[in-house]
Structures are given as C-alpha cells and as structure tokens.
Amino acid sequence: METKKPGNQDSIVLTIETPKGVWENATFDKTTKISEVIQQVVVKYKFATDGSYQLKVKGQTEVLKPERTLVSYHFEDHTTLVFTDLGAGA
C-alpha cells in the first residue's frame, strides 16, 4: 500500500504566508489549535504580542476558528495558509 505521507502520520506540513515572509514546511501536530499556530507565527516573525491576527486558507474567505484543531479542517500536507495582521486592538 502506498502512502503520500512518509514519516509521522500525526503531523502536517503547511506553508504559511505572512506579511514578513513565507514559512515553508511548517510542521505541526494535527491536534494543534489554530490559535497555537498563530502564536508560533507571531513568535517566529516577531509580530507584536498584543496584536490581533487571523488565518485563512489561501484563496478562501473563511477565517479559521482559533479554538479548532488543524485536523478538524482536514488539510492536506502543503496546504497554504495566509496569516493576516489585523493590528493592535482589532
């Protein structure tokens, strides 16, 4: 039987586009919450810790809900997410 996902079946590899650069091959546990992904992007790219941010799937308008997990969205490996900085107090 062939598998498209060599390695850990409990993780997912994503591409995250931000205003400060693209995080390619960002690997997360599938049970990671969207809010935790946002927090890791904030730290990695040194966004303001008191800012307001959101994630969307590239080409879609639906904002990903912070309390949901990655696995709940059924993403494929190498799905591209877009990180948006809404500014402080947004």
Domain ranges of the chain: 11-88
Task: Give the span between the Cα atoms of 21 and 37, in whole angstroms.
Answer: 15
| Burial (CB count <10 Å: 0-12, 13-18, 19+), residue 83 | buried
Task: Give the span between the Cα atoms of 83 and 80, in whole angstroms.
Answer: 10
For the stretch 20-60, pLDDT in tens is 999 999 999 999 999 999 999 999 999 999 999 999 999 99
Specify the residue for token string 């941010």.
53
Looking at residue 9, what is its pLDDT?
84
Looking at residue 87, what is its pLDDT?
83
Check whether 1 has a pLDDT greater than 90. Answer: no
Looking at residue 2, what is its pLDDT?
38
Specify the residue for token string 């107090």.
89
pTM of the model: 0.87
Is residue 27 within 8 Å of residue 11, measured between CB atoms?
yes
Check whether 3 has a pLDDT greater than 70. Answer: no
**What's the CATH number for 11-88?**
3.10.20.90
